[in-house]
A and B are shown apart, each in its own frame.
Chain A
Amino acid sequence: MKVTVDGTEIDLPAGTSAIDAVFSAGGDVPYFCAHKYLSPVGACRMCLVESGSPRRNPDGSFVMEGEGDAATPKVFWFPKPMASCTMQATEGMHIRSAKTSQVVAKAQAGMMEFTLLNHPLDCPTCDKGGACELQDRAFEYGYGASRFGFDRRHADKHYPLSDFVILDQERCIHCKRCVRYFEEVPGQEVLDFIERGGHTFIDTQEGGLPTGFSGNITDICPVGALLDNVARFRGRNWEYDHTPTTCTLCPVGCSITVDARNGRLERIVARENRDVNEAWICDAGRFGHVFASEERLTTPLIRDEDGQLVAATWDAAIDAMKRGFSGMRTADVALYLGADSTLEEGAALEALAAATGTRSVDHAPRYEVSVTAPQATLTDVATADAIVVIGADLGEEAPVLELRILEALRGGLIPPEFAHGTAIADLRLVERPARRPERLAVIGRESRLWAHAGHRVSADSQGALARLTHPDTDELRAVVALLDGAERPVIILGADVLSGAGGSFSANLTDLASRTGARVIAIPAAANSRGLAALNLVPRAGGLPVWRAQEAPAAFISRLDPGVRAAGFTVVHDTHLTATARLADVVLPAVTNYEKRGTVQNLEGRLLPLHPAAIQSGESADLIRTLSALAEALGVKAPARGLRGAQALLADHLGLDLSDLPARGALHTFRRTFAGPAAPHTPTLWTERMHARPLSWVDRIEELVHSDWQLPGAPAAPPARAGGSD
């Protein structure tokens, strides 16, 4: 399909919208209401372009213009500018954007002036300032002045829609993105326009927004109307250090941007990753970050003469460990790590375990079973025509997976990708899409997903797989029929079926998958459980697993909180003073996953990179560096002293090259996995430390002062000189 944009002819796939045609030609069109993953509605009228198409005579030939050989098909222009986000580009269409058309430039400037009539001029106090679509577009396409000399609309400027999201009704420009988001993405119709015309405002009648995915509306709001209440007034956009990284609160591995200011993590926003989270993240990932900057351990702690934990230097901690481990065999020290540690950290610990010869190595949480059925990707889920979820509470285990399932139920339409990125307006997406709940079956305990499922089977999840092989009720027969009749079925397994599964589980699953041609996602227990399973991080014969740590003669426990200490000398490496850390002999400060460089593997087997955000955490160290300190204390040579060394170990053992992982991650299947008996595990998304404490800003400043918080990197105040000249 040939389309001419501002005089340049380009070739585009059929079905492309006019706005994407302009962007494909390297042009620009301002827009507020269109959004990559929402239906285009043409509400804001900013994306105006002039357009026209050739017309055909009744005999099929083009209506021509000009004489003889110079004749060209005549372009019939629309009499007025058109909204390009809701207009499909067609063969031979001509489009003029503001670059070449005075009409368009004037229409857009007029529209901008109209949009700004009721918009308050409070950019200096607005959190969106500096990253505001309205601000940018007003600068680029507006007149720069308003002729409106009257009072603006006045409405509630601090209207909390929930604990997390606060609405400034004056700033709203009625683009309807948030309303469409709730309708189309999580399928919860909880926001809508109230009143009409200039009085229109956004509100809910349900007594607040449902938690789960409400925070996404703060990302997509093109103005500062909907704001993240956890990060509100914490910094201006240009003051934040933006770090693109991966969320490791659950095994989905959403792409996020971590915004830190003055060494404190203040805000997390979603980052687009078409293969994983599209543009959405869950509320836990967005708002549950306060632990990264609250009550952190910043120095090692050792026991003093009175048995109290006191701050110490790393050298003192290493000396304390040397004393504690003296007389012990290195193989007596059990090594445990949390399953959201990176692959590099896991490789370093695996290598150290080999060097010390310990048999007690473990990571937690993990499941005993390993799944060998064909792996489904998240894109497979979103484009599946039948999905069976067994024993999973996705709200606790992998929230964004729920959104991808709902995407499949509304047709599995993934917007196409152009050179300028994901299509800005995919005309196949419509408001109030027809949903196909009959494509989703949920088996197990009741969860949020039940509301969207056509088949609901309340059953014991553990036996469900066996019963699906030989369905004994009409409900289960319907589920089997759904799988049999589907071309692209996906089975999703959650904690209720994976935790404690054994015996015939693998055989049943493989049988079901091969019989129905289904691909499988088994949700791992923690963010990197899947990746760490490729490393030998399970107890060797005679070794002690984490849940028997108290029997170990000595232990090193990294970012795990089993609540017990080893029989002998215990070293805990953690970000906070946990219950386990309080019992330890030496506590070493750890960095959170927001501050790490490394790699994790998500539930579909995608390797995703972590990048360190600029968060102040004192002398905290990641596991690789901490293990080199431990190795020194144990008197063995540290197998890896840094990230490069750990990546070299991975390259040696697994043939894995992590040095230049693409930002979107890369799918990888490890040939071998290690598994062993595991403790029962119930996933919970929110932990206590993730909740923000309701503090007034006065209290907050006071607390920062009392905790001796300082501007990081600020030079020490010079000593006061007598007789200063000022």
Chain B
Amino acid sequence: MTYFETKQPLVADIFSRYPDSPQGRRSALMPLLREVQDAEGFVSESRMAEIAALCGTTATEVRSVMSFYSTYHTLPTGKYHLQVCSTLMCALAGADELWDHLVESLDVQPGEVSPDGRFSVQKVECLGSCGTAPVMQIGDDGYYENVGPGKCAQILESLRNDLQPLPDNPVPVTVGDDGRQVLATGQAVGSSVTGLHRLPGHAGGDA
């Protein structure tokens, strides 16, 4: 059965956002991909072909667009898709240890889903929350900050019971007017940086 067969109102709604022309139809590619991924956790080859037929393009182009974005998945993901930041700041703060711990304790490798269908893991590039490293994101939901061994165990335990703890920070990360990132508690992060002050204004042009 096709995914969109029973969802004609949704499809009509998505297409109504774009011009009614061949080029306009192709623009609906992204929301259709999103829809499938949100529902199924990944976009399979048959779904690519289905979306291609809806947009009046080819499965090759659908795959091309999809593969450009690292957040679209061609392989099945678990109910909780754990994304561990592995860029420099988090790596310095122990992201590698976090990753090793996840892979070992959950017994999954990237591209796999744990036998109970709950977990899949992925290393991702900088999530933009370096002040709270190491950072982990679950699905599209939000950031879990300063994930050390204790916090990690706590999160996994809750997830095993299908009680997902609230993220520390919803995405996108909030940065204050003063350019400082704050924790969910309101506490400023980046303790080693002191004496931040505003740059002189540029209103006068090249001075």
Q: Which residues of A contact B (CB under 8 A)?
A: 189-196, 203-206, 432
Contacts and interface: CB of A to CB of B under 8 A. Distances in A.
Interface string B128-151: 000000000000000000000000
B67 A205 contact: no
B64 A193 contact: yes
Contacts of A206: 58-60
A182 to B, nearest CB: 9
A192 B60 contact: yes
A79 B92 CA distance: 40
Contacts, number: 35
A192 B57 CA distance: 12
Contacts of B58: 189-190, 205-206
B59 A196 contact: no
22 contacts: A189-B57, A189-B60, A189-B61, A190-B58, A192-B60, A192-B61, A192-B64, A193-B64, A194-B64, A195-B67, A195-B68, A196-B68, A203-B60, A203-B63, A205-B45, A205-B48, A205-B58, A205-B59, A205-B60, A205-B62, A206-B58, A206-B60
Interface of B: 23, 45, 48-49, 57-64, 67-68
B68 A205 contact: no
A308 to B, nearest CB: 56
Nearest to B64: A192
Among B58, B61, B62, B64, residue most surrounded by chain A Cβ atoms (within 10 Å): B64
Given A195-B67, A195-B68, 20 more contacts: A189-B57, A189-B58, A189-B60, A189-B61, A190-B60, A191-B60, A192-B61, A193-B64, A196-B67, A203-B60, A203-B63, A205-B45, A205-B49, A205-B58, A205-B59, A205-B60, A205-B63, A206-B59, A206-B60, A432-B23
A196 B67 CA distance: 7
Nearest to B48: A205
Contacts of B45: 205
Contacts of A205: 45, 48-49, 58-60, 62-63
B78 to A, nearest CB: 23
Contacts of A203: 60, 63
Contacts of B23: 432
Contacts of A189: 57-58, 60-61
A192 B49 CA distance: 15
User: Which residue among A195, A196, A204, A205 has the maximum number of chain B CB atoms within 10 Å of its CB?
Assistant: A205
A190 B67 CA distance: 16
A203 B62 CA distance: 12
B59 A194 contact: no
Nearest to A192: B64
B20 to A, nearest CB: 15
A206 B58 CA distance: 8
A565 to B, nearest CB: 52
Which of B23, B49, B59, B62 is most buried by chain A, counting CB atoms within 10 A of its CB? B59
A191 B61 CA distance: 8
B67 A204 contact: no
A694 B116 CA distance: 47
B68 A192 contact: no
Contacts of A195: 67-68
Nearest to B49: A205
Contacts of B62: 205
A712 B62 CA distance: 52
A204 B23 CA distance: 21
Nearest to A197: B68
Contacts of B64: 192-194
Contacts of B48: 205
Contacts of A193: 64, 68
B137 to A, nearest CB: 21
A193 B45 CA distance: 16
A196 B61 CA distance: 13
A555 to B, nearest CB: 53
Nearest to A190: B60
A189 B65 CA distance: 13
Nearest to A182: B60
